[in-house]
Amino acid sequence: MTVNFDGLRVAVGLTHYVPGASLTIYRKQGRPLVVEASENGDLDPCRMRQLIAAHMCPTLQEHINNVVHYELGGTLESCGGDLFRVADTSGVGEQRWFATLLCPDSVFEILERTECDHAVTTRLEATIKVDPVLGVTAICLASDDVALTGELQEATQRAYAACLVHELIYGAAEASSAHNQNDTTSKESEQ
C-alpha cells in the first residue's frame, strides 16, 4: 500500500514552513527517512520539497510508491485529523496549523467567511503561507492569550472544515489552480 501523494505534498509543505517541525517517512524497504532542519535529519525540508516537486509530474509519481506511511512531529503536535498545535516556546503565542491544496485567494475568502465569535476572532491572527512549487497553502491561526486556547482550537477546526468542504465541492481543479506567487500573507482576523 502506498500513501496519497497529495497528502505527502501537504505534509512536506507544513514541515517546510513550521520551525522545528519534522516528518518521518516510512518506506517499503530501508529505515525510515527523517526530514527536519537539524543534524538529526536525513534530509532538510527544503531538499525534500524539491524532491516532491520533481515528482509532481504524474509519470514520475511511481517513484514515490516506496512510501507507505508518514508522520509529522517535532514542534507539530497532532490535535486530531490534519490539525496541529505548536506550543508557545518563543513568545509568539499558541499556534494551530493546517495545510490545503486550495489556492491562497480561496483560503483567504474562506477564512473571512468562517463563522466564529467576533469578540474572539479579533484577538486571533491568521497567517497564510504559500508554496507555489508544491501547490500547498499552509494556514496558521495564533493567539498570544492562553485564555483563548479553546477558542483558537475551535476557530481552527471551523476554518479547516470549511477548506475541506470547499475542496470536496470544487475538487482538484480549484485546489490545483494558480497559487499566488506571494510568499506570505498575514492579516489579523476581522470576522
Helix locations, the chain, DSSP H: 5-17, 45-54, 104-113, 118-121, 149-175
Statement: residue 86 has pLDDT above 50 = yes
pLDDT (0 to 100) of residue 17 = 93
Give the DSSP per-residue string, 118-173.
Answer: HHHHTT-EEEEEEETTTTEEEEEEEES-GGGHHHHHHHHHHHHHHHHHHHHHHHHH
Per residue in 9-55, pLDDT tens? 999 999 999 999 999 999 888 899 999 999 889 999 999 999 898 88
pLDDT (0 to 100) of residue 117 = 60
Please list, residue by residue across 156-171, b when 16 or more beta carbons sit within 10 angstroms of its beta carbon and e when fewer do: bbbbbebbeebbeeee
Average pLDDT over every residue of 143-161: 87
Average pLDDT over every residue of 162-168: 90
Q: 99: number of CA atoms within 13 Å, CB side?
A: 24
Q: How far is CA 97 from CA 65, 173, 185, in A?
A: 27, 24, 15
pTM: 0.81
In angstroms, the CA 57 to CA 125 distance is: 35
pLDDT (0 to 100) of residue 48 = 92
Nearest to 9 by CA among 133, 121, 119: 133
Statement: residue 90 has pLDDT above 90 = no
Statement: residue 115 has pLDDT above 50 = yes
Statement: residue 111 has pLDDT above 60 = yes
- Lowest mean pLDDT segment, chosen from 72-76, 85-89, 129-133, 142-146: 85-89
- Lowest mean pLDDT segment, chosen from 37-46, 69-78, 108-117: 108-117
pLDDT (0 to 100) of residue 29 = 87
Average pLDDT over every residue of 71-76: 93
Going by the DSSP 8-state scheme, the letter that residue 13 receives in this structure is: H
Angle at 15 between CA 110 and CA 183, to 5 degrees: 55
